[in-house]
Amino acid sequence: MSPKRRISKGIQDEGYFHQREGSATLRYPADQLPVPEVGRYQLAIEMNDCIVCDLCAKICPVNCIDIEAIKATEDIGKTSDGTTKRLHAAKFDIDMGKCMFCGLCTVVCPTECLVMTNEYDRSFTDPKELNYVFAEMSVEEAAQKRAAAAAADLAKKAAKEAALNKPSEMKGAQQ
Ligand code: SF4
Ligand code: SF4
């Protein structure tokens, strides 16, 4: 059973110093205050629904979102709202140690995959652990995807140049 709690009073209230009994604090974590619906706590992302558009990183006032996108050369499917995915996330880090909980990143996210959860109790002994890593791509896989994207870009460029040179070749052949 929870101990009797003191009535919440402001310090200017006449009876503030007359409350001798009851607890003024919570027995956390056994007792917890309700979290407001609009509260802003830890960020979480559903990576399957992220289109790696970078909008969240661009709007972040403190630059604590770090994304590396790689162009996909294959079909990588759609998000749950039907948006076509064209980019891989080789890196998607959010440094919650720098985050000021403004929520702007969640507002601009077009697929609503980036949200502020009501989880407020996450503590670490090493500050580096406040950098949340969301991308699941290995270093090797990212290198392969980068190489495939670069090769596809080169092939596209070569095809474009060939197409641009074609009329002049034809012209030369007619003379
Ligand atoms: S909540 Fe604000 S500060 Fe935190 S990551 Fe999002 S945009 Fe950046
Ligand atoms: S705004 Fe949303 S969809 Fe775009 S990169 Fe950020 S989390 Fe992903």
pLDDT digits 0-9 by tens, 114-134? 999 988 888 899 999 999 999
Count the alpha carbons within 13 Å of 169 in the hemisphere toward its beta carbon.
Answer: 6
Question: Can you tell me the mean pLDDT for 90-109?
Answer: 97
pLDDT of residue 151: 96
Local structure of residue 43 (DSSP, 8 states):
E
Write the residue with the smallest CA distance to atom 4 of ligand 2. Answer: 53
Q: Is the CB of 60 under 6 A from ligand 1?
A: yes
Question: Can you tell me the mean pLDDT for 162-175?
Answer: 66
pLDDT digits 0-9 by tens, 32-85? 888 888 889 999 999 999 999 999 999 999 999 999 999 999 999 999 999 999
Q: Is the CB of 104 under 6 A from ligand 2?
A: no
Structure-token match 């080789």, residue found: 90
Structure-token match 């309700």, residue found: 34
Q: Which residues contact 141 (CB under 8 A, 6 or more apart)?
A: none
Ligand closest to 41 (CA) is: 1
pLDDT digits 0-9 by tens, 12-36? 888 888 888 888 788 888 888 888 8
pLDDT digits 0-9 by tens, 48-58? 999 999 999 99
Tokens of 127: 């500050």
52 dihedral zone (left: phi>0; alpha: psi -120 to 50; beta): left
**Cα separation of 105 and 134, whole Å?**
15
pTM score over 0.85: no
Going by C-alpha positions, the residue among 48, 92, 53, 87 that lies closest to residue 70 is 87
Q: What is the residue extent of each domain of the chain?
A: 42-160
Pick the residue with more confidence: 10 or 92?
92
Tokens of 175: 């003379």
pLDDT of residue 38: 84
Q: Which residues contact 54 (CB under 8 A, 6 or more apart)?
A: 67, 69
Quote the percentage of the chain above a pLDDT of 90.
65
Band of residue 11 on the pLDDT scale cut at 50, 70, 90 = confident
Strand partners, 66: 93
Q: In this predicted structure, which of 91-100, 117-126, 137-146 has the lowest mean pLDDT?
A: 117-126
CATH code of 42-160, in short, is: 3.30.70.3270
Q: Ligand 2, closest atom to CA 105? A: 1
